[in-house]
Structure 1
Amino acid sequence: MSAFPDNPQKLIKVSLLLTRDEVQNLFDLETFAEIFEEPGNVNLMPLTNDHHYADMVADNYIQQNFMITGYKHRKDYRGQKPPQHNEEEHGREFEYYSLEGAHGKRMVEIYIFENGDTDVYLSFLRPANDIAELWIKGE
Protein backbone atom coordinates (compact mmCIF):
# COMPACT_ATOMS: atom_id res chain seq x y z
CA MET A 1 0.00 0.00 0.00
CA SER A 2 1.36 3.41 -0.97
CA ALA A 3 1.55 6.22 1.56
CA PHE A 4 0.86 8.76 -1.23
CA PRO A 5 -1.89 7.18 -3.39
CA ASP A 6 -2.94 10.47 -5.05
CA ASN A 7 0.65 11.54 -5.67
CA PRO A 8 2.14 9.41 -8.49
CA GLN A 9 5.41 11.40 -8.42
CA LYS A 10 5.74 10.76 -4.67
CA LEU A 11 6.83 14.31 -3.93
CA ILE A 12 6.30 16.40 -0.81
CA LYS A 13 6.31 20.18 -0.58
CA VAL A 14 8.46 21.84 2.05
CA SER A 15 7.63 25.49 2.71
CA LEU A 16 9.24 28.21 4.78
CA LEU A 17 7.28 31.29 5.85
CA LEU A 18 9.43 34.36 5.14
CA THR A 19 9.53 37.61 7.08
CA ARG A 20 9.28 40.94 5.25
CA ASP A 21 13.02 41.47 5.81
CA GLU A 22 13.80 38.06 4.28
CA VAL A 23 11.65 38.86 1.23
CA GLN A 24 13.43 42.21 0.90
CA ASN A 25 16.85 40.52 1.16
CA LEU A 26 15.95 37.90 -1.46
CA PHE A 27 14.09 39.97 -4.07
CA ASP A 28 13.88 43.48 -5.47
CA LEU A 29 10.69 44.85 -3.85
CA GLU A 30 9.67 46.89 -6.92
CA THR A 31 9.74 43.79 -9.10
CA PHE A 32 8.09 41.76 -6.31
CA ALA A 33 5.21 44.29 -6.18
CA GLU A 34 4.53 43.65 -9.90
CA ILE A 35 3.30 40.15 -8.92
CA PHE A 36 0.06 41.80 -7.77
CA GLU A 37 -0.51 43.83 -10.94
CA GLU A 38 -2.36 42.60 -14.02
CA PRO A 39 -1.68 40.68 -16.17
CA GLY A 40 0.34 38.72 -13.58
CA ASN A 41 3.29 37.52 -15.62
CA VAL A 42 6.31 38.54 -13.54
CA ASN A 43 9.76 37.12 -14.10
CA LEU A 44 11.45 37.32 -10.67
CA MET A 45 15.14 36.72 -9.97
CA PRO A 46 16.81 36.62 -6.55
CA LEU A 47 19.12 39.51 -5.76
CA THR A 48 21.88 37.13 -4.63
CA ASN A 49 22.66 33.46 -4.18
CA ASP A 50 24.52 34.20 -0.95
CA HIS A 51 21.88 33.81 1.77
CA HIS A 52 20.57 31.30 4.34
CA TYR A 53 18.05 29.74 1.96
CA ALA A 54 20.24 29.38 -1.13
CA ASP A 55 19.42 25.67 -1.53
CA MET A 56 15.69 26.47 -1.59
CA VAL A 57 15.85 29.30 -4.13
CA ALA A 58 15.64 29.02 -7.92
CA ASP A 59 17.72 31.22 -10.21
CA ASN A 60 14.54 32.56 -11.81
CA TYR A 61 10.79 32.41 -11.09
CA ILE A 62 7.96 32.80 -13.60
CA GLN A 63 4.52 33.74 -12.35
CA GLN A 64 1.94 30.95 -12.62
CA ASN A 65 -1.12 32.11 -10.62
CA PHE A 66 -2.66 35.55 -10.29
CA MET A 67 -5.31 36.51 -7.74
CA ILE A 68 -6.86 33.06 -7.19
CA THR A 69 -9.48 33.29 -4.42
CA GLY A 70 -9.57 30.62 -1.75
CA TYR A 71 -10.51 29.98 1.87
CA LYS A 72 -8.39 28.70 4.74
CA HIS A 73 -10.35 26.60 7.23
CA ARG A 74 -9.33 25.26 10.63
CA LYS A 75 -11.37 22.09 10.07
CA ASP A 76 -10.81 19.24 7.60
CA TYR A 77 -13.61 19.30 5.00
CA ARG A 78 -12.36 16.49 2.76
CA GLY A 79 -15.35 14.67 1.29
CA GLN A 80 -17.79 17.47 2.12
CA LYS A 81 -18.46 21.04 1.04
CA PRO A 82 -17.05 23.72 3.37
CA PRO A 83 -19.49 26.37 4.66
CA GLN A 84 -18.30 29.36 2.58
CA HIS A 85 -21.30 31.56 3.33
CA ASN A 86 -21.90 30.69 7.00
CA GLU A 87 -20.52 33.60 9.06
CA GLU A 88 -19.79 31.41 12.10
CA GLU A 89 -17.75 28.78 10.24
CA HIS A 90 -16.56 30.92 7.34
CA GLY A 91 -12.93 30.24 6.41
CA ARG A 92 -10.40 33.06 6.07
CA GLU A 93 -10.66 34.34 2.52
CA PHE A 94 -7.38 34.91 0.68
CA GLU A 95 -5.94 35.75 -2.71
CA TYR A 96 -3.25 33.35 -3.93
CA TYR A 97 -0.29 34.17 -6.16
CA SER A 98 2.48 31.78 -7.17
CA LEU A 99 5.71 31.77 -9.10
CA GLU A 100 7.61 28.69 -10.23
CA GLY A 101 11.24 28.03 -10.99
CA ALA A 102 13.84 25.28 -11.34
CA HIS A 103 11.77 22.89 -13.47
CA GLY A 104 8.74 23.23 -11.20
CA LYS A 105 10.67 22.18 -8.09
CA ARG A 106 11.01 25.65 -6.48
CA MET A 107 8.17 28.09 -5.78
CA VAL A 108 7.28 31.41 -4.23
CA GLU A 109 3.72 31.28 -2.89
CA ILE A 110 1.86 34.30 -1.57
CA TYR A 111 -1.40 34.45 0.40
CA ILE A 112 -3.06 37.81 1.01
CA PHE A 113 -5.84 37.45 3.58
CA GLU A 114 -9.00 39.56 3.74
CA ASN A 115 -7.61 41.59 6.68
CA GLY A 116 -4.46 42.47 4.70
CA ASP A 117 -2.13 39.97 6.39
CA THR A 118 0.30 38.62 3.81
CA ASP A 119 2.17 35.32 4.00
CA VAL A 120 5.07 34.70 1.61
CA TYR A 121 6.41 31.15 1.41
CA LEU A 122 9.54 29.82 -0.17
CA SER A 123 8.65 26.26 -1.18
CA PHE A 124 10.35 23.35 -2.89
CA LEU A 125 9.46 19.80 -3.82
CA ARG A 126 11.42 16.85 -2.49
CA PRO A 127 11.11 13.10 -2.93
CA ALA A 128 8.81 11.63 -0.29
CA ASN A 129 11.47 9.09 0.63
CA ASP A 130 13.44 11.99 2.20
CA ILE A 131 11.17 11.37 5.20
CA ALA A 132 12.89 8.71 7.25
CA GLU A 133 10.41 8.60 10.14
CA LEU A 134 7.25 10.35 11.38
CA TRP A 135 6.00 10.76 14.93
CA ILE A 136 2.41 11.23 16.00
CA LYS A 137 1.79 14.62 17.61
CA GLY A 138 2.19 14.39 21.37
CA GLU A 139 4.42 11.29 21.36
Structure 2
Amino acid sequence: MKVKQHIKAVVLATALAASATVASAQDKEPIRFGLCFDLSKSYTFISPQVAQAAQDLAMYTNENGGIEGHPVEVIIRDHGNEPQRGVECYEQLKREGVFLFNFLSTPVTNAVLPRAMKDGSVLMQSFVGRGDAVDGEVFEWVFPVG
Protein backbone atom coordinates (compact mmCIF):
# COMPACT_ATOMS: atom_id res chain seq x y z
CA MET A 1 0.00 0.00 0.00
CA LYS A 2 2.80 2.45 0.78
CA VAL A 3 4.24 2.07 -2.71
CA LYS A 4 0.91 3.01 -4.31
CA GLN A 5 0.58 6.05 -2.06
CA HIS A 6 4.13 7.11 -2.88
CA ILE A 7 3.47 6.79 -6.62
CA LYS A 8 0.24 8.80 -6.30
CA ALA A 9 2.09 11.52 -4.40
CA VAL A 10 4.81 11.71 -7.05
CA VAL A 11 2.23 11.87 -9.86
CA LEU A 12 0.28 14.60 -8.05
CA ALA A 13 3.43 16.64 -7.37
CA THR A 14 4.49 16.31 -11.00
CA ALA A 15 1.05 17.40 -12.22
CA LEU A 16 1.06 20.42 -9.92
CA ALA A 17 4.57 21.40 -10.97
CA ALA A 18 3.65 21.03 -14.64
CA SER A 19 0.55 23.20 -14.26
CA ALA A 20 2.58 25.89 -12.48
CA THR A 21 5.15 25.78 -15.27
CA VAL A 22 2.46 26.09 -17.95
CA ALA A 23 1.17 29.25 -16.30
CA SER A 24 4.64 30.77 -16.17
CA ALA A 25 5.39 29.76 -19.78
CA GLN A 26 2.99 32.46 -20.94
CA ASP A 27 5.05 35.16 -19.18
CA LYS A 28 8.45 34.43 -20.73
CA GLU A 29 9.82 35.25 -24.17
CA PRO A 30 9.24 32.48 -26.74
CA ILE A 31 12.04 30.35 -28.11
CA ARG A 32 11.75 30.60 -31.89
CA PHE A 33 12.78 27.80 -34.22
CA GLY A 34 13.07 28.63 -37.93
CA LEU A 35 12.26 25.88 -40.39
CA CYS A 36 12.96 26.99 -43.94
CA PHE A 37 11.92 23.94 -45.91
CA ASP A 38 11.23 23.10 -49.53
CA LEU A 39 7.44 23.06 -49.43
CA SER A 40 6.88 23.61 -53.15
CA LYS A 41 9.39 21.70 -55.29
CA SER A 42 11.78 18.74 -54.82
CA TYR A 43 11.15 17.65 -51.22
CA THR A 44 7.37 17.96 -51.02
CA PHE A 45 7.15 14.21 -50.40
CA ILE A 46 8.56 14.70 -46.87
CA SER A 47 8.99 18.34 -45.83
CA PRO A 48 5.30 19.15 -45.13
CA GLN A 49 5.10 16.14 -42.81
CA VAL A 50 8.30 17.14 -40.99
CA ALA A 51 7.00 20.70 -40.64
CA GLN A 52 3.72 19.41 -39.20
CA ALA A 53 5.59 17.14 -36.79
CA ALA A 54 7.63 20.14 -35.59
CA GLN A 55 4.45 22.14 -35.00
CA ASP A 56 2.90 19.21 -33.13
CA LEU A 57 6.00 18.88 -30.96
CA ALA A 58 5.95 22.61 -30.20
CA MET A 59 2.29 22.39 -29.20
CA TYR A 60 2.99 19.38 -26.97
CA THR A 61 5.99 21.13 -25.43
CA ASN A 62 3.96 24.27 -24.73
CA GLU A 63 1.13 22.25 -23.19
CA ASN A 64 3.74 20.82 -20.82
CA GLY A 65 5.30 24.09 -19.75
CA GLY A 66 7.56 24.95 -22.66
CA ILE A 67 11.34 24.85 -22.32
CA GLU A 68 12.24 26.04 -18.84
CA GLY A 69 9.04 28.06 -18.88
CA HIS A 70 9.57 29.58 -22.33
CA PRO A 71 6.92 28.79 -24.94
CA VAL A 72 8.16 27.31 -28.21
CA GLU A 73 7.31 28.97 -31.51
CA VAL A 74 7.99 27.21 -34.80
CA ILE A 75 8.15 29.48 -37.84
CA ILE A 76 7.91 27.65 -41.14
CA ARG A 77 8.80 29.16 -44.52
CA ASP A 78 9.33 27.81 -48.04
CA HIS A 79 12.68 28.08 -49.80
CA GLY A 80 11.79 25.91 -52.81
CA ASN A 81 15.18 24.17 -52.51
CA GLU A 82 16.81 27.34 -53.90
CA PRO A 83 19.95 28.45 -52.01
CA GLN A 84 19.32 32.19 -52.47
CA ARG A 85 15.76 31.89 -51.16
CA GLY A 86 17.14 29.90 -48.23
CA VAL A 87 19.63 32.67 -47.43
CA GLU A 88 16.82 35.24 -47.62
CA CYS A 89 14.70 33.08 -45.32
CA TYR A 90 17.58 32.82 -42.86
CA GLU A 91 18.15 36.58 -42.82
CA GLN A 92 14.46 37.36 -42.40
CA LEU A 93 13.95 34.88 -39.56
CA LYS A 94 17.13 36.06 -37.86
CA ARG A 95 15.65 39.58 -37.77
CA GLU A 96 12.52 38.07 -36.20
CA GLY A 97 14.53 36.65 -33.29
CA VAL A 98 15.07 33.09 -34.48
CA PHE A 99 18.40 31.59 -33.42
CA LEU A 100 17.91 27.90 -34.30
CA PHE A 101 17.46 26.91 -37.94
CA ASN A 102 16.86 23.80 -40.02
CA PHE A 103 16.71 23.84 -43.82
CA LEU A 104 16.21 20.17 -44.76
CA SER A 105 18.22 20.72 -47.96
CA THR A 106 21.93 20.27 -48.62
CA PRO A 107 22.27 23.11 -51.18
CA VAL A 108 20.44 25.56 -48.92
CA THR A 109 22.22 24.41 -45.76
CA ASN A 110 25.60 24.81 -47.45
CA ALA A 111 24.68 28.29 -48.70
CA VAL A 112 23.59 29.44 -45.22
CA LEU A 113 26.40 27.73 -43.28
CA PRO A 114 29.02 30.55 -43.51
CA ARG A 115 26.50 33.15 -42.33
CA ALA A 116 25.23 30.98 -39.50
CA MET A 117 28.78 30.32 -38.31
CA LYS A 118 29.61 34.03 -38.42
CA ASP A 119 26.38 34.96 -36.60
CA GLY A 120 26.64 32.20 -33.99
CA SER A 121 23.23 30.83 -34.97
CA VAL A 122 22.44 27.20 -34.23
CA LEU A 123 22.11 25.21 -37.44
CA MET A 124 20.62 21.73 -37.45
CA GLN A 125 21.48 19.50 -40.39
CA SER A 126 18.81 16.80 -40.52
CA PHE A 127 20.32 14.22 -42.88
CA VAL A 128 21.65 17.09 -45.03
CA GLY A 129 24.58 19.50 -45.19
CA ARG A 130 28.28 18.88 -44.80
CA GLY A 131 29.54 15.62 -43.38
CA ASP A 132 32.58 17.30 -41.83
CA ALA A 133 30.26 19.45 -39.68
CA VAL A 134 30.50 16.72 -37.04
CA ASP A 135 33.77 18.41 -36.01
CA GLY A 136 32.45 20.57 -33.19
CA GLU A 137 35.71 22.47 -32.85
CA VAL A 138 35.39 23.86 -36.37
CA PHE A 139 31.60 23.92 -36.67
CA GLU A 140 30.75 25.07 -33.16
CA TRP A 141 27.04 25.73 -33.68
CA VAL A 142 26.21 23.12 -36.32
CA PHE A 143 24.46 19.97 -35.18
CA PRO A 144 24.16 17.08 -37.65
CA VAL A 145 21.10 14.92 -36.96
CA GLY A 146 21.07 11.43 -38.38
TM-score interval for Structure 1 and Structure 2 normalised by the shorter chain: under 0.3
Tell me which structure has the larger Cα radius of gyration: 2
Normalised by the length of structure 2, the TM-score is: 0.21
Normalised by the length of structure 1, the TM-score is: 0.22
Q: Report the structure, 1 or 2, having the larger helix content.
A: 2
Comparing both chains, which one has the higher relative contact order based on Cα–Cα distances under 8 Å and sequence gaps of 6 or more? 1
Q: Report the structure, 1 or 2, having the larger strand content.
A: 1
